Amino acid sequence: MSIILTDDNFEKEIQKTEKLSLVDFYATWCEPCSMLAPVLEKIEKEFEEKIVLLKANVDDNQLNAQKFKVDRIPMVVLFKNGEPVDSFTGFKPELEIKEWLEKNI
């Protein structure tokens, strides 16, 4: 199950885990975000030993959206040890996301 991020808990949550943190920057009004969410949840289950999924609503996380230069959504950022290592923007099919993850794990 994904963790909901806020500007207040963002840093703590992405550094809290030994796993890679997969942060989904989204908005409730964004159709591609709604399409991507179930794909990411499915992938999280498959990669549960390696990643944790965290969700950051850009309307509620404006400071972190600005900090990580989120100018289009959905934007997915992969963090390792609290630092961003790679990202992608827009809807991607499941297989493409899995290949992207494998490349970064």
**Which sequence positions are flagged as catalytic?**
30, 33
Tell me the three-class secondary structure of 2-69, residue by residue. CEECCCCCHHHHHHHCCCEEEEEEECCCCHHHHHHHHHHHHHHHHCCCCEEEEEEECCCCHHHHHHCC
User: Residue 30 is encoded by which pair of tokens?
Assistant: 């964004």
Determine the straight-line distance between the first and last CA of the chain, rounded to whole angstroms. 20
